[in-house]
Amino acid sequence: MSTLAVRSAALWRVPLLRHVVLGLVGLTVMLFVLGSLSPFRDAQLATMAYLAIAAGGLTVLTGFSGQLSLGHGAFLAVGAYTTAVLLEDGDPPFPLVGVMVAAVVVTVAVGAVVGIAAARLHGPYVAGATLALAVAVPSLARYLDGLGQEQGLHVRVPDVPTWFDDTVWMITGADVDPTSYVAYLGWTALVVTYVLLANLMRSRVGRTWRALSNDDVAAEIAGVRLGRARVLAFVVSTAAAGLAGSLMAMAVRVTSPSGFSVDLSVTLLSAIVLGGLGTLSGALIGSALLTFLPQAVTSWGTSAGLSDVRAAELAPVAYGLIMIAVVLLAPAGIVGSLRRVWWRRRGIA
């Protein structure tokens, strides 16, 4: 028994195995949780899934490789519009997974071009260039006829496949309605993305990213090819954004320019700062806050006797106050601070 314990503890230290096991556990829990919740909660979880995927990608870029992107919403828009064009009549030319892959491919193509340009820039100039992108992409969508202009494009998620409905029912005893279906898709994509990102961050590539974000001159002297590493971070990050955009299109059911304002990019950035810069668990917590906090605060306000308008105004106030509190009291973010407490307990720090 004890040798088994030692051996499994040793195996646990292998990142790939650990991430895959955690991922499988995550998938199992997801199956039961989504099956037992109401369609409304499932819809919220679908929102959280796409935000978390985008925030995870942004964590790689901004938290890990040190390139501040103020324009991630633009990449979500590319993924979302690709999906919307393919799903406009609810009858995509290939299965839904193919649609999501297509969204990722198109976004990566755009991301690579932007990444090559951004790799030549430093610090605030990267932020400026990406901010310009966040302003330009929605305006482009307004301008082009095929993209539905201001009204945007309707997105029809194809019917839930019978095999999927039956399988989920066999396991959990719950029917899959269209709202929950998007949540299942979103969380599966989230788990897969996070396993891949976690491995990447623990690999050689991840170490070069960390090196260049700490000190790019030292990293270059140590043999890291800066440009290539930066572009790679951009590509990985935009791949996640493309997938997130694709899921966003399906969860929101419409893709229109006003859904991708600069607000979205800044909100994503605030999520990873709030959760803890540079960690995937931080990105996850940040996106959970973004999803659940406004609705929870608003319903709390209404039940406390505020008018609907006042209660609606409460949500941004609460979010702002939490943001200020985190920056002042826990500058490493929620996960960063918890981790520090944990280390101190174990006498590491």
- Residue closer to another protein by CB (options 139, 214) is 139
Cβ 285 vs Cβ 276: under 8 Å: yes
Q: Is residue 308 at the binding interface for another protein, with CB under 8 A as the rule?
A: yes
Give the span between the Cα atoms of 54 and 237, in whole angstroms: 8
**Helices vs strands, H then E, count in the chain:** 15, 2
From residue 243 to residue 282, what is the string marking binding to another protein with x (rule CB under 8 A)? -----x--xxxx-x-xx-x-xx------------------
Q: Is residue 170 at the binding interface for another protein, with CB under 8 A as the rule?
A: yes
* Residue ranges in 220-239 that form contacts with another protein under rule CB under 8 A: none
Q: Is residue 8 at the binding interface for another protein, with CB under 8 A as the rule?
A: yes
Q: Is residue 337 at the binding interface for another protein, with CB under 8 A as the rule?
A: no
Give the span between the Cα atoms of 264 and 55, in whole angstroms: 11
Give the span between the Cα atoms of 262 and 69, in whole angstroms: 11
The Cα angle at residue 335 between residues 191 and 232, in degrees rounded to 5: 55
Cβ 247 vs Cβ 100: under 8 Å: yes
- Residue closer to another protein by CB (options 114, 290) is 290
From the CB of 136, what's the least distance to another protein, in Å?
A: 12
Q: Is residue 156 at the binding interface for another protein, with CB under 8 A as the rule?
A: yes
Give the span between the Cα atoms of 119 and 139, in whole angstroms: 25
- Residue closer to another protein by CB (options 44, 238) is 44
* Residue ranges in 20-49 that form contacts with another protein under rule CB under 8 A: 28, 32, 35, 38-40, 43-44, 47
Helix (H) or strand (E) holding 2: helix 2-12
* Cβ within 8 Å of residue 334, ≥6 positions away: 274, 275, 276, 282, 285, 286, 326
From the CB of 264, what's the least distance to another protein, in Å?
A: 8
Q: Is residue 167 at the binding interface for another protein, with CB under 8 A as the rule?
A: no
Binding site for another protein (CB under 8 A): 1, 4-5, 8, 28, 32, 35, 38-40, 43-44, 47, 139, 142-143, 149-152, 154, 156, 169-175, 178-179, 248, 251-254, 256, 258-259, 261, 263-264, 295, 298, 307-309, 312-313, 315-316
